[in-house]
Structure formats: C-alpha cells, structure tokens
A and B are shown apart, each in its own frame.
Chain A
Amino acid sequence: MNVWLIAAGALLIGLIPCGIVIVRRPVLEALIALELASVLNTLVLLLLAEGFHRGPFFDLALVLALLSLAGGLVFARLLERWI
C-alpha cells in the first residue's frame, strides 16, 4: 500500500455522493453527477496506474477521459429535448 493507492481509495468514496444524486435527483442533475463521476474514475485509474507502477494502465485513464467527453456531450444533446 502506498500513497497513490490510498489517494485512489479516498477518491472512490466520492462516488457515493455522485451515486446518490444519480439515483434520487432529476435526470439533468444526474447527468452532472455522472460527469463528475467520470472525472473521478479517470483520476482513480491514473492513481492506480502510478500506484501499481504499470505504464500501460495510464492508457486506460486517457481513453476514459476521451470517452467521457464524448458520452457527456451525447447525453447533454439528447436530454435537451428528446428524452
């Protein structure tokens, strides 16, 4: 166990409030919480990659950061009128 893994574990706690908002609040507030959860997950992957000293794991964080941008934009566009 090192500081990177401890930081990753602490960040995972932040997913609980995001989950509460996603489950209990209206859909657009849930989208905001989902966007925040995506950022948290990206950072957790980044910290885990450093914590385990595995270079290729950094690619996971990079891909998630890219895909969460695309996913967020698609969700926002669809939730404007159609869903």
Chain B
Amino acid sequence: MSPVTVVVDALLIVGVVVELVCCVGIVVMRTAYDKLHYTGPASIVGPLAFALAIVLREALSQAGIKALLVALLLIVASPVLTHATARAIYIRERDHVEDPHS
C-alpha cells in the first residue's frame, strides 16, 4: 500500500465522517439557527477533502481540476447560502429587517 493510497483513503474517511456528522447535527439541533451551523463544515471540509483525494490520485488532470472547481464552488457558495437563509429566517420571524441607521 503506497503512501498516496493511505493519504487518499484517510481523506475519504475524513470527508465522509464530516458529512455524516453534519447530517446528524441537522436532525439533533433544535432551532433553525443551530441547524445552519452544520452546513458550514459539510460545504467546506468535505468537498476539500474529496477534491484533494482526487487530485492526489489523478494529479492536475481534467478530473483533478474539475474536482477542485467543484470544491471551490461549494466553498464560495456556502457562506452566501447561509447568509441568505439566515436572513430569510430572521425576516420570517420578525416580518421586517431593522435598519441599523435609524
């Protein structure tokens, strides 16, 4: 078993464990804001681990670059989606957004 294979397997295990823990967290947490925290690691740590594993196996071939692109896209999209969802929850609870300058 080569060192690269060991690292790839370890990255896959890390990715899967992080994703599954986040899925459990979504069920266990009580409020929507608490649940929102669990989308972070699922969209950052997991994709990064899988993309690194694919790059280690395939090098920077077409597959490796596309895997990195997917991870990058998920990492960039995660905070945007989290912010939009938190804003939606806030507005739905209070029926308005408070103006900090008024």
Q: What residues make up the interface of A, taking CB atoms closer than 8 Å to B?
A: 3-4, 7, 10-11, 13-18, 20-21, 26, 28-29, 31-33, 35-36, 39-40, 42-43, 46-47, 49-50, 55, 58-59, 61-62, 65-66, 68-69, 72-73, 76-77, 79-81
- Which of the residues A29, A32, A36, A43 comes within 8 Å of B47, measured between beta carbons? A43
Minimum CB distance partner of B89 in chain A: A28
- Residues of A with C-beta under 8 A to B95: 81
Interface of B is mostly: helix
Alpha-carbon distance A81/B50, docked complex (angstroms): 37
Minimum CB distance partner of A53 in chain B: B63
B81 to chain A, nearest CB (A): 5
Alpha-carbon distance A40/B89, docked complex (angstroms): 23
Q: What residues make up the interface of B, taking CB atoms closer than 8 Å to A?
A: 8-9, 12, 15-16, 19-20, 22-24, 26-27, 32, 35-36, 38-39, 42-43, 46-47, 50-51, 54, 57-58, 62-63, 66-67, 69-70, 73-74, 77-78, 80-81, 84-85, 87-89, 91-92, 95
B85 A39 Cβ-Cβ under 8 A: no
- Which of the residues B15, B42, B70 comes within 8 Å of A61, measured between beta carbons? B70
Alpha-carbon distance A16/B89, docked complex (angstroms): 24
